[in-house]
Structure 1
Amino acid sequence: MFQSKYKVKESSTKKAYNYLINLIAKRDYSEYKLREKLRLKGYESSHIDESIQKLIDDGYLREDFYTDARIRGLMSKNYSPSHIKRSLEQEKIYVDESYILSIFGDNYTSVDDQVDYLVSKKIGSKPIPEGREEFYKFKNKIITFIVSKGHSFSAASDAFNRYLDKTD
Structure 2
Amino acid sequence: MSDVTAVVAIGANLPQADGTPAIETCRWAVEQLRRIPGMRVAAVSSWWESAPIPPDPRSPPYVNGAALLEGALGPEALLAALHAIEDRAGRVRPYVNAPRVLDLDLIDLGGVVRDGPAPILPHPRAAGRAFVLMPLAEVAPGWVHPVLGKSVETLIADLPAQQIARLAS
Shorter-chain TM range is under 0.3
With the length of structure 1 as denominator, give the TM-score of the two structures: 0.27
Q: Which has the higher strand share?
A: 2
Q: Which has the higher helix share?
A: 1
Q: TM-score, normalised by structure 2?
A: 0.27
